[in-house]
Chains A and B, each alone.
Chain A
Amino acid sequence: MTDQATQTAQSKHLKKRYRAEKRFKFFGLAAICSAAGILLVLLGGLTQMSIPAFTHHYVTLDIAIPETIIQAEQVTDLAAMRKVNWRGMVRQSLRNEFPEVTDRRGKRAIGNLLSGGAGDALRDKVLIDPTIIGSTVAVALPLSDDVDLLLKDLIDRSLPEENRVISDRELTFIDHLEAADRIDRRIAWFLFTSGDSREAEMAGLRSAAVGTLLTMLVTLLFSFPLGVMAAIYLEEIAPKNRLTDLIEVNINNLAAVPSIVFGLLGLAVFINFFHLPRSAPLVGGMVLALMTLPTIIIATRAALAAVPPSIREAALGVGASPIQVIFHHVLPLAMPGILTGTIIGLAQAAGETAPLLMIGMMAFIVDTPMWIDDKATVLPAQIYMWANNPERAFQAKTAAGIICLMVFLLLMNALAIYLRKKYEKRW
């Protein structure tokens, strides 16, 4: 071949290479853009769906609380408080707004405008300030979920009456209250301050959120020390032989075991054999810890292996024992990587539902769990249960629950990044 021919062949080859590089860059960019787009659509859709759940409509009524019902000093007495018919009181006060309605059905319809939890709102007000007993106070009472949806324009007024959950007569009551400026829209704090409820408008995330926190606490306490210690032993101390090879292969396989299997194991071992409490964060956390262990072990081993050998040699050279080398030098340098792995594992566990199904954490829990042996549920389970409810108001609730779960995970990751930075600064 002549020089000229070689040159043209070379420049052709070069052009081809540039084209291939450009193509590759374009594909990479396209992949990132489409991923970002999908995420945006998902988040946007969820946020839009969840917005109605963050506010609720309340009707403000003047309610007389006679001393004949309850004395101020009885407020702390649970039994006495329970005897009071708060629900009847709020319903009666609403009926008083419509003196012209006298028939039974009409009266009942008026009462049903209020949420089933409206009586509790009055009770809570008395609990907070017992001095109001004996006087008449203005109380904001939550309306029922259907009324709320109507006021949020999520129920179409123009539908024929038989296809609407709210009758024409109820519409006139609502319009009357609105005209009297008795109804206002408020932030639905109960979404965060109350537990689950059959009433869509009263259901909140508190018990599930606390359940998740407790479960994660148990998971962290079990999986972090166990995982890190196992990784240190395998990576730094254990001799390299067939047995350790076998263990390594099994740990890697464990990371790929379907999560429901861990749930079955938890049911068989922790609950049926050790008789630990069912539906409790203790068992849930332990099951999730088993699931998280491989992630932590693999991440920790990678982080330990990434510490430069020169540091080990330096420490050995001045006479540090192998354990001192690990704890004084290798582990601190590997800590950021270990923390990242742990957080990834925990975030994975926080979003897990299947194993908890087996140990009874997919449950209707109203009370907030106080400790790790109380009955509890977790956020993803709560979301699943809400999604299964037929009431329309639960749709927005479900979306709001998902948003809260994501914020929860985001906060966890933020904490991880903060801790990492702090650890890295020490060096």
Chain B
Amino acid sequence: MKRDGDMMLSTPKIKSSGIIVEYDGKRALHGIDLDIYPNEVTALIGPSGCGKSTFLRCINRMNDVIDNCKVSGRLMIDDTDVYDPEIDVVELRARVGMVFQKPNPFPKSIYDNVAYGPRIHGLTENKDDMDRIVKKSLKRAGLWDEVSERLDDKALGLSGGQQQRLCIARAIAVNPDILLMDEPCSALDPIATSIIEELINELRERFTIVIVTHSMQQAARVSQKTGYFHLGNIIEYGETNDIFTRPQNEQTEAYISGRIG
């Protein structure tokens, strides 16, 4: 576990400064300043409607597809300005993978689900290479042993937890640096959840992970840093250990101890 001082030393992977999001002129985020560090799991917690998912979707510009949604401020990934009009959103999303709340595999075969990303990004033309990418991605997502015999089966025939791991495999198949997870376990049972949590812990070595979660236990279990959102503001951000054991802010403390939420 890192100490407080280290936070300032390493360079942040994602640097958000003054991110404001407006839906139809109504502010959902009031200027978020947040640094997210590489090879760590950063958990975003807070009550419903606090803007944590909205912030997550800013990172790979998924808010672009929502009509009347306006994002201002500055969000840097490494040295790239995400909201630079010159930037290619498709390329950005290849660097920033996303896993959604409900498992949403394509209604295709397991193989095609994983191969879709590499295929559209032209990562390989070669069947053998593609097989390798699919195998590697499924292995990393901890799904390979369960599906290696039936790659051509429909993805929708898998269980909920398997589907969610397939979605993770699909996201990492295009070799991103960052993985965004929007409440990835909220539709899963406790066993499937613990498998995914273990997986997140392993994936941390290769990816920078930002996870939005409703479960504080989950945040405490999987993350190294935690940010507490409330009504479109980031109230407190720091080492997960500190946030959960000695929160600086009253609101944070109230939420964590279950008095508000």
Contacts and interface: CB of A to CB of B under 8 A. Distances in A.
Contacts of B107: 311, 333, 427
Contact of A317 (B67, B97, B154): B97
B24 interface: no
Interface in A304-359: 308, 310-322, 324, 328-329, 333
Contacts of B117: 318-319
A313 B174 contact: no
A322 B208 CA distance: 26
Interface in B58-80: 60, 62, 65, 67
B206 interface: no
Contacts of A313: 62, 98, 100, 104
A318 B174 contact: yes
Interface string B78-90: 0000000000001
B167 A316 contact: no
Contacts of A324: 120
A240 interface: yes
Given A319-B90, A319-B117, A324-B120, A314 B167 contact: yes
A319 B100 contact: no
A318 B102 CA distance: 16
A318 B62 contact: no
Nearest to B156: A427
A118 B146 CA distance: 77
B105 A314 contact: yes
Interface in A205-259: 239-240
A321 B104 contact: no
B120 A314 contact: no
B67 A240 contact: yes
A329 B65 CA distance: 16
B116 interface: yes
Interface in A173-212: none
B136 to A, nearest CB: 16
Nearest to A308: B104
B62 A314 contact: no
A311 B174 contact: no
Given A311-B106, A314-B167, A319 B67 contact: no
A383 B65 CA distance: 53
A317 B121 contact: no
Given A318-B116, A319-B90, A310 B100 contact: yes
B167 to A, nearest CB: 7
B108 interface: yes
B41 interface: no
Contacts, number: 65
Contact of B121 (A239, A240, A319, A328): A319
Given A314-B167, A333-B107, A320 B120 contact: yes
B94 interface: yes
Interface in A282-323: 308, 310-322
A335 to B, nearest CB: 12
B90 A321 contact: yes
Given A316-B62, A318-B116, A311 B104 contact: yes
Given A310-B100, A314-B100, A333-B107, A319 B93 contact: yes
Contact of B170 (A310, A311, A318): A318
B171 interface: yes
Interface in B166-189: 167, 170-171, 173-174
A314 B90 contact: no
Given A324-B120, A333-B107, A427-B107, A316 B93 contact: yes
Nearest to A320: B120
Contacts of B174: 318-319
Contact of B106 (A239, A314, A316): A314
Nearest to A310: B104
Nearest to A317: B98
Contacts of B4: none
A71 B102 CA distance: 83
Residue of B62, B65, B167 contacting most chain A CB atoms (<10 Å) = B65
A319 B94 contact: yes
A239 B99 CA distance: 27
B145 interface: no
A350 B120 CA distance: 41
Contact of B91 (A310, A319, A322, A333): A319
Nearest to A321: B90
Contacts of B99: 317
Contacts of B60: 317
Residue of A312, A320, A322 contacting most chain B CB atoms (<10 Å) = A320
B106 A317 contact: no
A318 B93 CA distance: 6
Contacts of B62: 313, 316-317
A324 B62 CA distance: 16
Contacts of A329: 106
B100 A318 contact: no
CB-based closest 9 A-B pairs: A310-B104, A317-B98, A319-B93, A318-B117, A319-B94, A314-B104, A427-B107, A319-B90, A321-B90
Given A318-B97, A319-B94, 6 more contacts: A310-B104, A316-B65, A317-B98, A318-B171, A319-B93, A427-B107
Interface of A: 239-240, 308, 310-322, 324, 328-329, 333, 427
6 contacts: A314-B100, A316-B65, A318-B173, A319-B94, A328-B120, A333-B107
Interface of B: 60, 62, 65, 67, 90-94, 97-100, 102, 104-108, 116-117, 120-121, 154, 167, 170-171, 173-174
